[in-house]
Amino acid sequence: MLFSPVGLARTLVLDLDAKRHGREQVRRDLDVASGLLDAAGCRHVADISVSGGIHVYVPFTAGLSVDELRPVLRALAVRLPTLDISAMSNPSEGCIRPPGSRHRNGGYQQLLTAYERARAVFADRNDLAA
């Protein structure tokens, strides 16, 4: 689940879906998203599924409401054709398969970010100013 019972998400997850635009576009969108996040000073982690979809995790020190996240998601969706904002727009049912989880088509979510770097990003989360 992406949101707490009180409707706050401490991690923004960008769900880059390969179904409609393919794996190559997902990789291009990852490059664009990473550039935007780096420019904003947001540390992030990425993983990949067997389908070629990628999740980009941006952990924060405090929770954000769907009302705070929606404008950011909509703006990113304009730049990222593969971005599926549905999970991050649904505080009651939005969920994402985390790294290491079994994929329904077999295989597992695999980190693209080095493990030690991923641990460091989640241990030292982004402040809300980012």
Long-range own/partner contacts, residues 111-119 (CB < 8 A, 24 or more apart): 111/45, 111/46, 111/47, 112/30, 112/46, 112/47, 112/48, 112/54, 113/44, 113/45, 113/46, 113/47, 117/45, 118/45
Whether the predicted pLDDT of 116 surpasses 90: yes
DSSP letter at 94 equals -
Going by pLDDT thresholds of 50, 70 and 90, the confidence category of residue 113 is very high
pLDDT over 90 (residue 17): yes
Domain boundaries in the chain? 8-123
Question: Per-residue pLDDT tens for 69-112?
Answer: 999 999 999 999 999 999 999 999 999 999 999 988 889 999 99
What span, in angstroms and rounded, lies between the C-alpha atoms of 94 and 39?
Answer: 27
Instruction: Please name every residue paired with 13 in a beta bridge, in sequence order, or none if there are none.
Output: 57
**Residue 103 pLDDT:** 86
pLDDT at 105: 83
What's the pLDDT score for residue 115?
Answer: 97
**φ, ψ (nearest 5 deg) of residue 122:** -75, -25
Tell me: the pLDDT tens digits for 52-63? 999 999 999 999
| The pLDDT of residue 94 | 96
CATH entry 3.30.70.3300 includes domain 8-123: yes
End-to-end CA distance of the chain: 23
